[in-house]
Chain A
Amino acid sequence: MLKTFPKGGVHPAENKISADSPIKKLKLPEQVAIPVDQHMGAPAKPLVSKGDKVRTGQKIAESAGFISTNIHSSVSGTVLKIDKVMDTTGYKQAAIIIKVEGDEWDESIDRSEDIVREFTAGPEDIVKKVLESGIVGLGGATFPTHVKLSVPKGKKADVFILNGAECEPYLTSDHRMMLEKGEELLTGMEIIMKALDVNKAYIGIENNKPDAIRHLEKIAADHKDIEVCALKTKYPQGGEKQLIKTLTGREVPSGGLPVDVGAVVHNVGTTFAVYEAVQKNKPLFERVVTVTGTGISGPSNFLVRIGTPVSALIEAAGGLPADCGKVINGGPMMGKALNTIDVPVTKGTSGILVIDSKGSNRREVQNCIRCARCVSVCPLGLEPYLLMSLAERSLWERCEQENILDCMECGSCSYTCPSARPLLDHIRLGKATIINLRKAKQK
């Protein structure tokens, strides 16, 4: 029997229509806008100013704290200005705008296609390199990777998990990476295992990607410490807590971190970036982005420089269809709707999904019929119907007692509700209010 997490989950139509298109390099745009706040934590501090010449891979903004990271230029050219531009969050944020004049890479970067398997770097060197290279979680959470690689004092990790579940419908970037960059991923895993000082690793892949499972099983045969595991296709299999539970049987405690149960999880794209940083000296300035959706004539997986406008990606995949309701940054379950496609691709952009006008309509909300489907699909054992009704009545303390802060916003409840009730909208409101109330109390 296939492994999966024990409670909850849904199975939306997979729609992996771009799964067979190999990763293509997207041509450089005329101009890039690289936001200084692309990660969780403090925004990076710009190191360049108007008129500076920069090269591809050059550090242009530096980490401003432990939870923060560096940012590198994705092109060579001239800094036009540092200005506020709309980014994928829908807010205007500071970004370094560079006029593209070419693609001259910093000469310290190894641009060859050779796979470098041997490495000598020790744990500290690896963590330093990862921070230096500006690597963050590329699954969408954008948590700085060097923080996750530094196991806190008094805690011990004993297992590393490569998250190849890619449980969001439509998205295929990790799938393509596993097929095309398998060797690099295995080396990236060995590097991460070295940094964490663990001897055991799993690769968790949903069984709707049998070619990726076969390929990695084959090439991982001589890595005795790495085990490839086929997982049942069930959303949110790729949720960190669900993946750890599935593969190790351990439950990350409420409010705790994966390392509390000795596990560290990294996404496929992140692990590849670690390989490139340590073995090729290449900082994170490009990533694979799936461009897909209803009406997209050429669903694709592009290797895209950070800062490229989303509109350029959509253009390269055949253009925005006439019937377009929403454009999503990410997958359909957890992605964020964009209010304009004139925003730059950032480190957290795993996919661009177009949804037609009809699919963008929310259905009419009806009374709760207390069918309890939201309770049975919640992978965290919460009661979404209750949280919504408590949040509607501003009963924040009760919300807290009912563990509202455990919610990871996977959306299974809203997805499954037969009355089309906006459960997750209200839960988000409750979470945000409680966090703000806590902050106010501390002051």
Chain B
Amino acid sequence: MSLLGGHQPSAISGARFMDPVVLARIGQLDLVARAVCDGFINGLHKAPYFGASIDFAEHRGYVPGDDIRRMDWRLWARTDRYYIKEYEAETNMNFSVLLDVSRSMDYGSIGITKLDYARILTACLTNLVHHQRDRVGFVAFDSAIVEHVPPSAKHMDTILHVLDRLTPGRPGSLKEPLHKLAEHFGRRGVIVVVSDFYEDPETIVDAVTPLRFRGNDIIVFHVMDPAELNFGFTDAQAFEDLESGEQMPVVPDAMRKEYVALVNAHTEALRQKFSEVRVDYTLLDTSKPLDHALFRYLSSREKKLRSR
């Protein structure tokens, strides 16, 4: 399947609205990604930013050393000068997903964990990008870098494989691994950060911002379980922190209001701070279908193309 033009609008397949829990049961990430993306792309009327990716861009004068296969003989015939054809295709971008695989991501109250959701999301995004002939890369991190697949047009399968065998590991920390990666991403591209962001907003923004320094576009997906968002517990019980193992007695009814207010304040602070540094921030609820995330990505790309 090609993501380039040529597809007729058809009935909405529904895959993008498919319950993530159902998607998580499919198991094979490539199948899931294809199903989601097909349905998603089928629903689009137009894909304007895909049009000229390998088209001719401009001529330039030949200099010794240039490949003569790229010489425009027709122009030589007309002008008796040597010109070299340059194509848009050379500007294909790097697309990397930085996925938080810390222990806290291994939580799900509705049958799908945040990590599974993020895994599907990553597969869908890389699948989408891969079909645009962009180079896809992948990094998994917790408090350090766990997996690293460099951006390449041929790495789609590798990424799916790596995603498939990811397991939640140690307690997470954004700053150190992201700062390392900021030095690593030398070439401009799109970087998607997927995490549950259990840190102070300042710390998170400080960790993410360096990724922008080389001109990368950053898209941040904040993955949260519905239980984390609305704290729907009823029984008074001991809560155990997945990462630290710390336990404390919690009376949910008594503290729900304050908790939700704190989470909202946190997400709002993230949203505001990321917007200040021109980073796209999207809060994802794992009980919601994936289309919201995909839309977010595509609209981001569109803005990018328009601004170019």
Q: Do A and B come from one complex?
A: no
- Residues in A lying within 8 Å of B, measured CB to CB: none
- Residues in B lying within 8 Å of A, measured CB to CB: none
